[in-house]
Amino acid sequence: MNKIIIAIDGYSSTGKSTVARQLADYLNYIYVDSGAMYRAVALFALQNNYLSKNHFDKQSLLMSLPAIKIEFKKEAKNNRADIFLNDKNVEKEIRTMHVSDFVSPIATLSEVRKKLVSIQHKMGIEKGIVMDGRDIGTVVFPDAELKIFMNANTQVRALRRYNELIEKGQNVSFDEILKNVEKRDLLDTTRIDSPLVKATDAIEVDNSETNREDQFHIILQLAKDRIAKRI
């Protein structure tokens, strides 16, 4: 059976990764969380003191780019691919609020985007991939057979993120999360290189009021239709 590429873009905390994972598991496709790659570069910049609240040494980060190795590897314990930064599993570290606060400026850098998009292209060569992010249907895989653009209202998204982080034991306030979501929306949609925008041929899914199970079945049906067309 011919495999396809599924691109899932949209605002933060719209459940892109949940549905992308569900689809990949069901179809036996590879799942790639492209946001994790931008987060890994932000973590690298923070660890090397290139980035802090009042300071961004962009030049040093750009010079270090060739030395940043980003890979996804399966860990036997959970059978899920975790992200590795220079051979270290950073799956947990990249999900903190600290990294969330600093990742958007990193994602505005064209040199960073170029490097990550090139890795993403290689992952999609054999198709059979579900990738989520902000520019997957517009820049990374403009010919993807199925493109989904996910949205939900800001309060709903902030509450989801808040619950997720509280569940993970992080000490955060709802207001802080709401501000972070709003700030990231603004930076993601207004940056010059590859801003978050719905591809003209993407199908928009607003899940402010849809439950995840229903949403999965709607998107799975779309995927099955596209796969059937390629057989």
Q: How far is the CB of 116 from ligand DC (least distance, A)?
A: 8
Q: If binding is defined by CB under 6 A, does position 188 make contact with ligand DC?
A: yes
One of 134, 147, 157, 161 touching ligand DC (CB under 6 A): 134
Q: If binding is defined by CB under 6 A, does position 39 make contact with ligand DC?
A: yes
Q: Hey, which bits of 24-66 come out as E strands?
A: 30-33, 51-52, 55-56
Q: Radius of gyration over alpha carbons of the chain, in Å? A: 17
Alpha carbon distance 145, 131 (integer Å):
12
Say how many residues touch ligand DC, by CB under 6 A. Answer: 14
Alpha carbon distance 4, 116 (integer Å):
21
Q: How far is the CB of 177 from ligand DC (least distance, A)?
A: 12
- Which region, judged by CB under 6 A, interacts with ligand DC, from 54-62, 128-136, 142-150, 173-181? 128-136
- Which region, judged by CB under 6 A, interacts with ligand DC, from 44-52, 79-87, 132-140, 197-205? 132-140
Q: If binding is defined by CB under 6 A, does position 85 make contact with ligand DC?
A: no
Which residue reads 């596209």 in tokens? 226
Which residue reads 């599924």 in tokens? 6
What are the C-alpha distances in Å from 141 to residues 7, 50, 101, 154, 186? 7, 31, 27, 27, 23
| CB nearer ligand DC, residue 143 or residue 225 | 143
One of 104, 138, 180, 215 touching ligand DC (CB under 6 A): 104
Any idea what DSSP says for residue 14? S
User: Which residues are at the interface with ligand DC (CB under 6 A)?
Assistant: 12, 34-35, 38-39, 103-104, 107, 133-136, 184, 188
